[in-house]
Amino acid sequence: MGSLITVILPVFLLIGAGYAATRFARFPEVGIDGLMRFTQNYAFPCLLFRAVSTFDIGEQFHAPLLLSYYSAALICFVLGFLAALLIFKRDLEDAVVIGFCCLFSNTLMLGLPITERAFGPDALEANFAIIAIHAPFCYTLGIAMMEVVRARGSGLNPFGIMAQIARQLARNPLVIALMLGFVVNLGGITIPLPIADAVDMMVAASVPAALFAVGGVLVQYRIEGDLRVVLMICLITLVVHPALVWGFGRYAALDVAQFRSALITAAVAPGINTYVFANLYNRAKRVAASSVLVTTSGSLLTVWLWLTILP
């Protein structure tokens, strides 16, 4: 119970504050949209840039860690896709979006603050290693799969798929920040102190602003669509994904810090990017929006349960 109060509850109180301010205190939705754009396009890119530009890439990009996490994520994508297709009889395009909802964790807005509050800021290196390839991996898989199913019967254009993936990644501020961080790190470039201090100021604002914005965004969502599909997404993202990471992480003999980071990252709810992906293709948008709302609420309990059994 102590971990629920001291670690998880403050995170969800900030989310609740954003929800209450938007729902009851007339904080404008346009303000929430602006705050979300600030965190997604500026503050979190600064956070990732600083992290990647300063940590030991050879030490942190540990193959067993990444294989443990992303093997589990890939299995969850396949499970969500097949369940949507075979059990819930959704069409192929909807099934890809539903699989993407089972794949994409809210690594930044939930995974980072919960890990930091539970184990301290020095425990985040493995989080950043996972985050560094999270958007490229998930968007590459989701876009490639969607383009393949959309091209059925009309001939597959591999160059068109690669171009679509490249366009989406090139427009993603998080990916741009990561690439710049790698350039600075591998090139041994020293950032001037005033610029470094400005980046640190942006970083300090990133997590609290993002959590408040998440609460405000949830006001805009309603539980709609096929509730059975939403509950299936909850089961896969909040239970199956962390359980798989637990098994793979034990098999790979991850150290305690890596194991904790991987498990918490896997245990958090899907990110708002799942709705962005659904909106990109105009498929299963109600399911994606509902799953963000329900899983974010449900993760208050499930993340606490995973924390209680972590080493």
Q: Provide DSSP, 153-217.
A: TT---HHHHHHHHHHHHHT-HHHHHHHHHHHHHHHTPPPPHHHHHHHHHHHHHHHHHHHHHHHHH
As to burial, measured by CB atoms within 10 angstroms (0-12 exposed, 13-18 middle, 19+ buried), residue 41 is: middle
What pLDDT was estimated at residue 156? Answer: 64
Whether the Cβ atoms of residue 141 and residue 103 lie closer than 8 Å to each other: yes
What pLDDT was estimated at residue 265? Answer: 96
Supply φ then ψ for residue 62, to 5 degrees.
Answer: -90, 115
State pLDDT tens for residues 104-113. Answer: 999 988 999 9
What's the rounded mean pLDDT across residues 251-268? Answer: 95
State pLDDT tens for residues 65-83. Answer: 999 999 999 999 999 999 9
To 10 degrees, what angle do helices 134-150 and 125-132 make?
30
What pLDDT was estimated at residue 281? Answer: 86
What's the rounded mean pLDDT across residues 281-300? Answer: 88
What pLDDT was estimated at residue 270? Answer: 92
Most confidently modeled range among 84-93, 172-181, 186-195: 84-93
State pLDDT tens for residues 181-193. Answer: 889 988 888 899 9
Q: pLDDT-derived band of residue 251, with 50, 70 and 90 as boundaries?
A: very high
Instruction: Give the span between the Cα atoms of 52 and 125, in whole angstroms.
Output: 9
Whether the Cβ atoms of residue 85 and residue 145 lie closer than 8 Å to each other: no
pLDDT of 4 strictly over 90:
no
State pLDDT tens for residues 127-157. Answer: 999 998 898 899 889 988 988 888 775 666 7
Least reliable range by pLDDT among 59-73, 81-95, 234-248: 59-73
- Of the candidate CATH numbers 3.30.70.260, 3.30.565.10, 1.20.1530.20, 3.40.50.150, the domain formed by 2-309 belongs to 1.20.1530.20
Query: How far from chain centre, in Å, is Cα 28?
Result: 25
- pTM for the complete prediction? 0.86
What's the rounded mean pLDDT across residues 3-9? Answer: 72
Q: pLDDT-derived band of residue 166, with 50, 70 and 90 as boundaries?
A: confident
pLDDT of 7 strictly over 80:
no
Radius of gyration of the chain (CA): 19
What pLDDT was estimated at residue 290? Answer: 87
